[in-house]
Chain A
Amino acid sequence: EDKVVQSPLSLVVHEGDTVTLNCSYEVTNFRSLLWYKQEKKAPTFLFMLTSSGIEKKSGRLSSILDKKELFSILNITATQTGDSAVYLCAFSTDSWGKLQFGAGTQVVVTP
């Protein structure tokens, strides 16, 4: 059975800190891994990773995939209170685009 595990479940940091979120997976027919940010309602897309070892960056956020060790990391540097959210990791195993989500990591950034 395919599964994805995110850690930690939650964390609290101060503004300016760096956070590292982990997503490990056991998936047959892996196609891609995606990161989403969920604030109040809709998950909003952050990154899609398909190749191992290639870092993707968007501002203060970056992510990398390790297909040998079956995990991905999402980094947020110089955190701001607006980064407070649940960060979701999901994987895709088919071309139809169905995603299977992890439980998420709740990040709280305090002023």
Chain B
Amino acid sequence: EPEVTQTPSHQVTQMGQEVILRCVPISNHLYFYWYRQILGQKVEFLVSFYNNEISEKSEIFDDQFSVERPDGSNFTLKIRSTKLEDSAMYFCASKGGRQGEKLFFGSGTQLSVL
């Protein structure tokens, strides 16, 4: 079965540093997402992306966050100046169609901000 792949699996960074989390969605999918899960808490929606622009974002997704699809395969999440509270597992997800199709999740990037 096709997979969403994420790199790196773990990222450790110092507070205030920029990080870029990378994702390769399933190749024929059109809708892309980032979610995060702080340890012991719910999976939370960050942002959705379609047709090369953000379609929806949550309150968490402030000016420190940005997403990009730099080429036909990669989808990245950038955090400009990391904070301690950004430490979480970040999941990329994708789906094919507009109407109610299931999301496929990647295996996640564990981000630790020290």
Residues of chain B within 8 A of A34, CB atoms compared: 102-103
B78 smallest CB distance to A (angstroms): 20
**A32→B100 contact, CB < 8 A:** yes
Those of A84-111 within 8 Å (CB) of chain B: 88, 90, 92, 94-104
A75 smallest CB distance to B (angstroms): 20
**A104→B42 contact, CB < 8 A:** yes
Residues of chain B within 8 A of A103, CB atoms compared: 41-42
**B100→A41 contact, CB < 8 A:** no
Residues of chain A within 8 A of B31, CB atoms compared: 96-97
Q: Which of B12-20, B43-51, B69-77, B79-87 contacts A (4 or more CB under 8 A)?
A: B43-51
Question: With A42-B108, A43-B91 in contact, is A97–B103 under 8 Å at CB?
Answer: yes
Residues of chain B within 8 A of A41, CB atoms compared: 89, 107-108
Residues of chain B within 8 A of A104, CB atoms compared: 42
Tell me which of B41, B56, B100, B106 contacts A48 (CB under 8 A): B100
CA distance A96 to B30 in the complex (A): 11
Residues of chain A within 8 A of B107, CB atoms compared: 41-42
**A97→B42 contact, CB < 8 A:** no
**B48→A98 contact, CB < 8 A:** yes
Residues of B within 8 A of A (CB): 4, 31, 33, 35, 41-45, 48, 50, 55-56, 89, 91, 95, 98-108
Residues of A within 8 A of B (CB): 31-32, 34, 36, 41-45, 48, 50, 88, 90, 92, 94-104
Instruction: Give 8 nearest A-B pairs by CB, closest first.
Output: A101-B43, A42-B105, A42-B107, A41-B107, A45-B102, A41-B108, A32-B100, A96-B55
